[in-house]
A and B are shown apart, each in its own frame.
Chain A
């Protein structure tokens, strides 16, 4: 069997497992038949593509997996009741930051860079530390009594605009100046010197 066929079959089976698991859980009765199934699928896609971002060898594929991760996160925002933030996520992260990262990857990858050694030598320690961090966060979240309501509160976009341009207008202006300064600084730092190396 050719190798590409194996890859395609493997990814199809992985996709089937991703979608099949929450549907099976819903049939068994662990999940309810509402947004929960969709939420489960999106969370799976987000976590798996996030893991792929930090573990894959080819850095271009890491960038593409990052786009998938951000897209799934936008879906989770919609389920959480913040549609405007989801739209901003698609525009800013998938549309702008990912493209910026991909451009930077294409500008900085040399063929002679040793691509075989992806991780630092202390990668095992880093893995242990991050697993511990996840456990500590989960325990803390479970042990804290949040003043949370039972159902999600949806954020209407006109309400969001009212608050953003009334209560937070100073912060909004400051952030626009910050963005301008960052763009100018980025151009200045990355620009080629006259007569310097290309």
Chain B
């Protein structure tokens, strides 16, 4: 089971779908950021799986996964800072009340 690329890819797909659901359905901005982290991790899992099973990607997969991780860390930093800044102005973490640009 752990020797088949398809199992890893389907696992990554399910985790990505869970993250998609969280991003679409949650109301809290930080929950949405956590769902984005889940989706990034799912993509990372698929990259690692390709690195482990495709011969030409053997070492490159790990390198790409590490770079994705660094970019995800940068994204989390900036995203959470933006959420905190908006919270300071609007006093709510719920995204459906961020409607200043809709009026």
The chain A residues found within 8 Å of chain B, CB to CB, are 31-32, 34-36, 39-40, 43, 46-47, 50-51, 53-54, 59, 62-63, 66, 69-70, 73, 76-77, 79-82, 84-85, 88-89, 92-93, 96-97, 100-101, 104-105, 107-110, 113-114, 117-120, 122-123, 125-127, 129-131, 133-134, 137-138, 141-142, 146-155, 159-160, 163-164, 167-168, 171-172, 175, 178-179, 181-183, 185-187, 189-190, 192, 196-197
B88 at the interface (CB under 8 A from A): yes
B residues sitting closer than 8 Å to A (CB atoms) are 1-3, 5-6, 8-11, 13-22, 24-31, 33-35, 37-38, 41, 44-45, 48-49, 51-55, 58-63, 65-67, 69-78, 80-85, 87-89, 91-94, 96
A123 with B69: CB separation less than 8 A: no
Known interface pairs A88-B69, A117-B27, A120-B26; 15 further A-B residue pairs with C-beta atoms within 8 A, sorted by A's residue number: A47-B15, A47-B18, A53-B18, A54-B31, A82-B61, A97-B72, A126-B25, A130-B21, A141-B10, A152-B52, A155-B58, A155-B62, A160-B59, A167-B63, A181-B74
